[in-house]
């Protein structure tokens, strides 16, 4: 088995890298920034049902330093996302995954085994545990409590032949202390778990019932697994599941999606420790699905996550969404991949320099994908690129010759408080994007156009004083270039 990535001997601030193998499909599912490099966990899969869990170390340029196989054999293996690979309090790491017997299809109703693997920073296996090898279950996330114990959540098929939320507590050596099943509605699946400062557990996911179809749910359990409360959120239509993120004040952020008259909309809320809504926001963003990664908090209380939108080729592309502490959308950044096929981001983690590292894969080609971005989600755009800070500084006059068209207009200009950017795309076009660059040629803001005409508010508070250049792009062609200034 030979795996490839472009190599470099320099350290870069940004990279956008893909990794392929000569005979295997591979996905990158989770990432942990560690010291001066990144630990990436993922899956290899072959046509003959061989599969393996791997972990690899990448340097600051995205080059592979080493790689280790943690578990391999025939059958299907599954990692759900970033919450399945976490650092431990003793300086090591733990991977919580599922594997299925050979010849079984990938579904919630097939025989599965939970595999827990603890490794050190060199990828050496310290211990490995199998949970309920004869039961039907899958793990979605793992969290570590202050006392060193672990909590895992997922789903398990019980004697009623229905799938229900599964929760298990393990000691720091991976031995089972207790496990529980939550019977919420006709069916429920846990998607995330957070540990409180009191070593209680907040579990979230989705549940299906006869009255309101699919809803989000959040449950609180104490350290012994006893249920304190369960609450459901959503509409009478088929909503989605939700994930939660603990806040410093003891509250929780919740992210999911609802449907209103058949239209899917992002749903964000802040819950107190009793599950009561402190605020909620509904975002009707055209062509954008619900947030797929765990939410990440910033120092000032804002937060971000990765969603998907459908481009002009009707393929999924990731988009990083940034919200303020009250759930208002303040910035969005498209992650450029391969626009002719579906691409996904499964994890987003903060880095020491204030940026983020993201992992995912390309669905059609099944190659893994890792990106290093700045604090606004910007990485160099083309696949397999690498850039330093200096490389991103270009001369604005040389690189952005003005193209005078009238697809976009900004008024008033200069901007002292707020201005309106109105747009109208050419005939038969309804998808495009607008890129905004500062005087050094650095991309500082980007947003997508999902309809033929509309408007967007440009706020002076989002920019430093100075001159900016914007480009209107449709089908990778720059249709218009203009300038505006901020006072």
Checking if the pLDDT of 312 tops 90, the result is: no
Helix (H) or strand (E) holding 185: none
| pLDDT at position 152 over 90 | yes
Same fold, 12-392 and 396-486: no
Give residues with Cβ within 8 angstroms of 208, minimum separation 6.
185, 186, 187, 188, 214, 215
Q: In what order do the strands lie in the sheet with 408-411?
A: 408-411, 418-424, 453-459
From the options 3.30.750.24, 3.20.20.70, 3.30.565.10, 2.60.40.1930, give the CATH code of 396-486.
2.60.40.1930
For residue 395, what pLDDT is reported? 40
- pLDDT at position 393 is 41
Quote the pTM value: 0.77
Q: What residues have CB less than 8 Å from 455, skipping those under 6 apart?
A: 420, 421, 422, 423
Least confident of 77-81, 267-271, 436-440: 436-440
- For residue 383, what pLDDT is reported? 62
The pLDDT tens digits of the residues spanning 39-56 come to 999 999 887 788 999 999
Domains of the chain, by residue range, sit at 12-392, 396-486
Q: CATH topology for 12-392?
A: Methylamine Dehydrogenase; Chain H (2.130.10)
Q: What is the pLDDT of residue 381?
A: 59
Lowest-confidence region among 170-174, 379-383, 443-447, 480-484: 379-383
In angstroms, the CA 32 to CA 101 distance is 29
pLDDT of residue 170: 95
| Overall size of the chain counted in residues | 487
Predicted pLDDT of residue 133: 58
Give tens-digit pLDDT for 336-389. Answer: 665 567 888 999 999 988 889 999 987 666 688 899 988 888 776 566 666 655
């Amino acid at each position: 088995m030979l795996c490839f990535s472009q190599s470099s001997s320099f350290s870069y601030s940004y990279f956008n890298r893909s990794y392929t193998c000569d005979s295997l499909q591979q996905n990158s599912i989770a990432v942990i920034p560690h010291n001066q490099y990144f630990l990436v966990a993922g899956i290899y899969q072959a046509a003959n049902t061989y599969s393996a869990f791997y972990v690899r170390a990448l340097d600051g340029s995205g080059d592979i330093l080493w790689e280790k196989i943690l578990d391999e054999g025939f059958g299907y293996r599954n990692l759900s996302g970033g919450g399945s690979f976490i650092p431990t309090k003793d300086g090591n790491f733990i991977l919580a995954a599922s594997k299925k017997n050979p010849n079984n299809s990938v579904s919630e109703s097939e025989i599965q085994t939970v595999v827990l693997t603890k490794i050190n920073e060199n990828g050496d296996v310290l211990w490995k545990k199998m949970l309920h090898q004869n039961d039907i279950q899958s793990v979605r996330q793992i969290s570590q409590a202050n006392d060193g114990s672990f909590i895992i959540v997922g789903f398990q098929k019980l004697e009623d032949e229905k799938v229900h939320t599964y929760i298990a507590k393990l000691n720091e050596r991976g031995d089972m202390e207790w496990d529980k099943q939550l019977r919420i509605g006709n069916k429920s699946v846990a998607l995330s778990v957070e540990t409180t400062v009191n070593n209680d557990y907040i579990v979230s996911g989705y549940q299906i019932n006869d009255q309101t179809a699919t809803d989000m749910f959040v449950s609180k359990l104490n350290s012994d697994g006893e249920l304190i409360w369960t609450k459901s959120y959503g509409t009478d239509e088929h909503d989605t599941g939700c994930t939660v993120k603990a806040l410093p004040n003891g509250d929780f952020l919740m992210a999911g999606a609802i449907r209103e008259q058949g239209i899917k909309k992002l749903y964000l809320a802040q819950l107190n420790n009793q599950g009561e809504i402190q605020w909620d926001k509904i975002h009707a963003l055209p062509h954008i699905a619900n947030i797929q990664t765990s939410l990440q908090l910033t120092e000032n209380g804002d937060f971000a996550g990765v969603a998907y939108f459908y481009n002009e080729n009707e393929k999924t592309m990731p988009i990083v969404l940034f919200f303020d502490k009250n759930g208002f959308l303040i910035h969005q950044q498209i992650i450029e991949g391969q626009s002719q096929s579906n691409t996904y981001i499964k994890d987003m983690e903060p880095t020491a320099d204030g940026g983020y590292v993201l992992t995912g894969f390309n669905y059609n080609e099944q190659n893994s994908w890792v990106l290093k971005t700045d604090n606004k989600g910007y990485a160099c755009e083309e696949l397999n690129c690498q850039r330093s800070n200096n490389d991103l500084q270009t001369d604005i006059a040389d690189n952005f010759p003005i193209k005078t068209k009238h697809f976009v207009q900004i008024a008033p200009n200069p901007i002292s408080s707020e201005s309106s950017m109105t747009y109208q795309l050419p005939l038969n076009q309804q998808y495009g994007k607008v890129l905004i660059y500062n005087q050094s040629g650095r991309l500082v803001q980007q947003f997508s156009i999902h309809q033929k005409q509309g408007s967007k508010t440009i706020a002076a508070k989002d920019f430093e004083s100075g001159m900016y250049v914007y480009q209107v792009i449709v089908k990778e062609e720059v249709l218009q270039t203009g300038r505006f200034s901020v006072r």
